[in-house]
Chains A and B, each alone.
Chain A
Amino acid sequence: FAILSEDYSMQMVLKAGKIAWRREEALAYVLSVEMIDLPVSENQAKYEDEFGSHKDDIATMFMKRFKTQISQLKTYIQQQLQKLQGHRHHHHDTEAMAESGSDDDDEDLTRDEFNLNKLIVLVTGAGKVFGVRSTNGHIEWEHFFPELAPFDGNNQQKLLLFVQRTTAHFPNPPQCTVVGKHKGTGNGFLFSFNPISGEPVDTPPTGQVLNYRITQTSMLGELDDHFLRGILLMDPDNQIHVFPGKCLSVLKKTFGSQYMFVADRETGFIKGYRTVPNQGKFLMENVWTVNLQKKQQTITQVVGKRPLEQVHSQGRVLGDRSVLYRYLNPNLVVVVTEGEFIEQSQRGGVFNTINLYLLDSVTGHMVFHCSHKRAKGPITVVHSENWVVYNYFNQKSRRLEMAVLELYEGKEQSNSTAFSSFSSPRQPLVLRQSYIMPLFISTMATTVTEKGITSKQIIFALKLGGLLALPKALLDPRRPLVPTQETMEEGTIPYIPELPVNAEAIINYNQSLYNVQGIHTSPAGLESTSLVLSYGLDLYFTRVQPSKMFDVLKEDFDYFFISAVLLGMFVVTIATQKLSARRALSRAWK
């Protein structure tokens, strides 16, 4: 029998009760993805432990260092012995492995050299949470919550996954939380767990049901003493709850700089709130409202920036060696609205408009507004650093167009050390350009790296079945129509209306991906690499190197040759020195 169960897994059960195979089809309904670093190995953990405790005096620190190094020496010798023995036993082992054919010999989850392997946490619409290895896609652990339902306002299903603590802070375990809705009551549903092992932390194994409905969520700006980032949950009475409760102290300290905003699709209002203490608890007080006329347009998307993304450079170098400073507002939010209106002409057709608003979510200030008439969705927006890339279907010329907005402060910076929305430069320069996209796309995302130094690539999921990676330099509003000496120095590509799609830019070579719902990118340990996971009907994971692999030596780097030459030169220098001294001496004695 083939059985499809409640958690969307399909199993083939044979008559004797044995399961022949099992497929987790819940993976086709992924709603949220996060990639977590793997924990460090034991030896490295001891290193971290050393640096963690500042309270010891010199003697204990010395002993700790001594012990760590002795244990490292032991493991090293053991490894070498194993290697020597392994050569003899190697062929025996491979035969044994080929026979068993099981996949139980995955290595345990420790960080590799360049921190490229991650643990991917997938939250699916079926109420199932998976922890998947990134090396081979095997499911490490899974949890099923029959009571968990996604938030389904706005015809979109949404389940939230927050990373509260990463693996970077050694003795504290990493923690992630899934936030959703309880099926029965509509109240909030939380489940907090350790992403590496899958075990629940702070919440019961069947999840915790709250006694209020969740209207909006946000994360705290500051970490607490144990490097945990709390989650703020807002309920319909505008009261704020902090999860977990121990982060309340952080909120007490920083409530003055914590703001939230809620966009209501039904009424077309966007309301901004600030935190106000009220008898020991915290309330959200409405401080600004923006009315986007519901009669004319409906809010379809509100896109913010990725919260912990690092931006490396504060400006852009122009051809004449001056700097154009970027407008890096971390609280900027892109609101996309779609509307339609009837044209008052002979033809009198109905056509659509798209409006894009850039709002500062702390003050409500509308930084920029643009509208596209005769343009239709579905719109995908990518918002990162100081730019916004979005695409729309142009009804007049019946093609898909891609537009880019970049915000700059100008040639001088108003404040180079801190950015506050209350004293931000009033009106940033907005540079815009649009291009024609020859192929239809489902979704797009941008690559992210750890320090933001590498150039970015935008990954498009084509409806044809490929994932196209185009460099951001092609979507640059400063691309000149006519290249001059200065623009050549700056390095901008001359403007052509079409975006070039070449087969080499497709990162999934000959495999096809259809019905891609989303693409998630994550930084890796290497600065040059970004990890890409596309989910939808299938899961596809790969690594992208936008600026080629500039931080790793090539494979054919001749260590032996170079070190031999160096050593040779050194020896020759000393030898010739001695010889020449001897010769000078003998000449002096003549």
Chain B
Amino acid sequence: MSSKRKLHKWSIDFSGHGRSKSDRQVQVQDIRAPVGYTESTGTIVEQSGKEADQKLIDKRSWDIALGPLKQIPMNFFIMWMAGNSISIFPIMMVGMMFFKPIQAFISVQNTFVMIEGSQAIIQKFIYIFGNFVCLMLAMYKCQTMGLLPTHASDWLAFMDPQKRMEWSGGGLYY
């Protein structure tokens, strides 16, 4: 107890406990500030915070923008695993792959609110492009499964019968 209280004469008690006991100790308030030291340090701290924030915002926007593009290899793999036959699992996978970009397109306003920064326009463009590529991938999968109506045989059912231009009748002589 006593060793604690026994402070050196030149030690500076920053906490301010020994205020009443000894006035031999130097008080914090009496110490003058060093040369060139200014009290207001807030501005510098604010500036570095702003930079860090900008970088963080940009980084996050890039993450959002590149999100779809990162999904593409994973989708490729899923499609390859799902197979080319027409059964419930491949169709579910294709449906899911179709709906993700479409949902992204529908909620594009919400995501654009989150994208800010100097390169916002490029990032928005890249986001839309990425979604578009995902959609193309889903279409390609449909094409390999044979679901897209690209051949003439797919439109055969909608063709009207030919109109008859001449009428004819007859047969063996009666």
**A residues adjacent to B (C-beta < 8 A):** 151, 153-154, 158, 181, 214-221, 232, 254, 257-266, 299, 301-302, 304, 307, 310-315, 317-318, 321-323, 328, 330-331, 361-362, 415-422
Contacts and interface: CB of A to CB of B under 8 A. Distances in A.
B165 interface: yes
A323 B172 contact: no
Contact of A261 (B151, B159, B162, B170): B170
B42 interface: no
Nearest to B146: A321
A331 B169 CA distance: 8
Given A311-B161, A313-B157, A215 B166 contact: no
A423 to B, nearest CB: 9
B165 A421 contact: yes
Interface string B144-174: 0010000111101101111111111111111
A454 B153 CA distance: 18
Given A218-B169, A257-B166, A158 B174 contact: yes
Contact of B153 (A154, A214, A317): A317
Contacts of A158: 174
Interface of B: 146, 151-154, 156-157, 159-174
A419 B163 contact: yes
Nearest to A421: B166
A304 B164 contact: no
B163 A151 contact: no
A237 B154 CA distance: 53
B76 to A, nearest CB: 26
B170 A328 contact: no
Given A218-B169, A220-B167, A323-B152, 5 more contacts: A215-B174, A218-B168, A232-B169, A254-B167, A361-B168
A216 B156 contact: no
B172 A257 contact: no
Contact of A420 (B146, B152, B161, B166): B166
B155 to A, nearest CB: 9
Given A153-B173, A262-B173, A323-B152, A221 B161 contact: no
Contact of B171 (A214, A263, A313, A318): A263
A160 to B, nearest CB: 9
Contacts of A181: 174
A418 B169 contact: no
Contacts of A323: 151-153, 156
Contacts of B173: 153-154, 215-216, 262-266
A299 B172 contact: yes
B170 A218 contact: yes
Nearest to A317: B153
A181 B49 CA distance: 112
A417 B159 CA distance: 9
Given A314-B156, A323-B156, A420 B165 contact: yes
Given A158-B174, A322-B153, A323-B152, A314 B159 contact: yes
Nearest to A156: B172
A333 B166 CA distance: 14
A417 B162 contact: yes
Contacts of A261: 168-171
Nearest to A330: B164
A523 B156 CA distance: 24
Contact of A221 (B154, B156, B157, B164): B164
A215 B157 CA distance: 42
Contact of B163 (A263, A312, A418): A418
Given A322-B151, A323-B152, A260 B166 contact: no
B156 A313 contact: yes
Nearest to B159: A314
Given A260-B169, A263-B173, A417 B156 contact: no
Contact of A416 (B151, B159, B172, B174): B159
Nearest to A217: B169
A261 B168 CA distance: 8
Contacts of A313: 156-157, 159
Contacts of A328: 161-162
A264 B173 CA distance: 5
Nearest to B161: A311
A262 B170 contact: yes
Contacts of A311: 161
B129 to A, nearest CB: 32
Contact of A314 (B154, B162, B171, B172): B162
A347 B159 CA distance: 57
B172 A153 contact: yes
A310 B163 CA distance: 11
B11 to A, nearest CB: 55
Contacts of B151: 321-323
A70 to B, nearest CB: 40
Given A313-B156, A322-B153, A214 B174 contact: yes
A299 B172 CA distance: 9
Contacts of A232: 169
Given A158-B174, A317-B153, A260 B162 contact: no
Contacts of A216: 169-171, 173-174
Nearest to B150: A321
Contacts of A416: 159, 162
Contact of B169 (A214, A219, A314): A219
* Shortest Cβ-Cβ A-B pairs, 3 listed: A218-B169, A221-B167, A420-B165
B161 A310 contact: yes
B174 A153 contact: yes
A361 B172 CA distance: 12
Contact of A415 (B161, B162, B166, B168): B162
Nearest to B157: A313
Nearest to B171: A302
B172 A260 contact: no
B161 A314 contact: yes
A302 B172 contact: yes
A167 B155 CA distance: 34
B164 A419 contact: yes
A302 B167 CA distance: 17
Contacts of A153: 172-174
A361 B153 contact: no
22 contacts: A218-B167, A219-B169, A254-B167, A258-B167, A258-B168, A259-B167, A259-B168, A259-B169, A261-B168, A264-B172, A264-B173, A302-B170, A307-B169, A315-B153, A315-B159, A321-B151, A330-B164, A362-B168, A418-B162, A418-B164, A419-B164, A421-B165
